[in-house]
């Protein structure tokens, strides 16, 4: 999954394609570290009917895509961790939400009574079926059938989380713990909540509730050693995935990693630029450090327990 600097992968030239499966799972030859990596927002298969019905051009729909993050973190497979990558785009369905965070104003038909229609994310247009992309640009001309929304959840959302849940459970069973790395990218524009420019890397552990401090400390140190600026939890503390799976007291640690897109791509054309290869190597090196130290921490923990 390595991409040379400045190379634009041929399969990115056309992304209008039907979704053949909910995710692709890249398995290591041997799963030798207590880590699972998932990339929920890098999917780049845009169904033709979705593109044709949208009020936005394809390039605008792709503004919410975490482009190439699966490739940035592809080295994790060689390091011994499985990598789960969503095939569908975030503008079509967002698995980093509750399964039924739905805005009733978007749909023709009645939502299930258990749907969460009042969350802040729904109010902002960023529910399980997003209403907007980018700077509040509406995706649809009008309402869509509620049956279509529920079908996306049944055929894509549920299988994705079933696959992720299985990986986490198998890892915890094999190693006694699991560290889930939830990999994302972020726009370079805008400020964080303190009014400062965004860092190169933002680590989200939901303010220490989804991962033990030691897990996040190791990741912060690893990225800083590669010359990257790092902040925690501001403005991204982690979404549904880290909140739902991260349970440090039960031995599962969820850590969200946000990468600044300006480091590796042209945010207007969405093409990787000359910095891609260097960042890819930095991520690979940082993850190698993290995996080694997280595994060592596990060994120390086991020895102490014995």
Domain boundaries in the chain?
14-95+164-305
pLDDT, tens digit, for every residue of 187-232?
Answer: 998 755 566 679 999 999 999 999 999 999 999 999 999 999 999 9
Model pLDDT, residue 135: 81
Residue 51: left (phi > 0), alpha (psi -120 to 50), or beta?
alpha
Query: For 14-95+164-305, CATH number?
Result: 3.40.630.40
Place of tokens 């600044």: 260
**Pair 18, 45: CB distance under 8 Å:** yes
**Confidence band of 12 (pLDDT split at 50, 70, 90):** very low
Tell me the pLDDT of the chain averaged across its residues. 92
Structure tokens at 231: 């902040």
Using CA atoms, how far residue 270 sits from 58, 62, 64, 235, in Å, is 12, 8, 11, 23
Secondary structure (H, E, C), 218-236? HHHHHHHHCCCCEEECCCC
| Mean pLDDT of the region 237-251 | 97
Residue 122's pLDDT band (cuts 50, 70, 90)? very high
* Residue 283, both tokens: 């991520």
Q: What is the C-alpha separation between 27 and 82, in angstroms, rounded?
A: 5
Q: Judging by beta carbons within 10 Å of its beta carbon (0-12, 13-18, 19+), is residue 90 exposed, middle or buried?
A: buried
Strand partners, 79: none
Eight-state DSSP code of residue 96: S
Model confidence at 11: pLDDT above 50:
no
Segment 38-65, tens digit of pLDDT = 999 999 999 999 999 999 999 999 999 9
Is residue 132 helix, strand or coil? strand
CA dist 67 and 281 (Å) reads 17
What would the two tokens of residue 99 be?
Answer: 């399964």
- Please tell me the distance from the alpha carbon of residue 253 to that of residue 131, in angstroms, as a whole number: 31
Q: Return d(Cα 206, Cα 242) in angstroms, integer.
A: 8
Query: Do residues 46 and 92 lie in contact, with contact meaning Cβ atoms separated by under 8 Å?
Result: yes
CB 201 within 8 A of CB 230: yes
pTM score above 0.95: no
pLDDT for residue 14: 74
């Amino acid at each position: 999954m390595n991409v040379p600097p400045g190379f634009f992968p041929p399969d990115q030239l056309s992304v209008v394609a039907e979704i053949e499966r909910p995710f692709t799972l890249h398995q290591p030859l041997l799963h030798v570290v207590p880590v699972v990596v998932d990339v929920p927002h890098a999917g780049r298969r845009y169904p033709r009917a979705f593109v044709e019905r949208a009020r936005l051009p394809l390039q605008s729909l792709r503004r919410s895509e975490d482009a190439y993050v699966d490739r940035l973190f592809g080295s994790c497979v060689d390091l011994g961790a499985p990598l789960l990558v969503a095939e569908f785009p975030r503008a079509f369905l967002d698995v980093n939400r509750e399964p039924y965070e739905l805005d009733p104003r978007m749909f023709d038909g009645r939502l299930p009574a258990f749907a969460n229609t009042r969350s802040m994310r729904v109010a902002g247009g960023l529910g399980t079926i997003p209403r907007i992309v980018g700077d509040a640009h509406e995706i649809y001309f009008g309402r869509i059938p509620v049956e279509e929304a529920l079908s996306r959840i049944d055929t894509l959302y549920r299988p994705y989380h079933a696959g992720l849940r299985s990986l986490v459970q198998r890892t915890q069973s094999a190693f006694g713990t699991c560290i889930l790395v939830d990999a994302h990218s972020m726009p370079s524009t805008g400020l964080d909540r303190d009014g400062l420019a965004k860092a190169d890397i933002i680590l989200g552990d939901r303010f220490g509730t989804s991962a033990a401090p030691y897990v996040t400390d190791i990741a912060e140190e690893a990225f800083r050693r590669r010359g990257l600026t790092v902040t925690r939890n501001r403005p991204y503390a982690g979404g549904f995935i880290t909140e739902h799976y991260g349970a440090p007291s039960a031995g599962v640690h969820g850590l969200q990693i946000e990468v600044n897109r300006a480091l590796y791509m042209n945010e207007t054309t969405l093409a990787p630029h000359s910095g891609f290869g260097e960042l890819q190597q930095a991520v690979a090196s940082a993850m190698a450090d993290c995996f080694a130290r997280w595994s060592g921490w596990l060994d120390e923990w086991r020895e102490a327990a014995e």
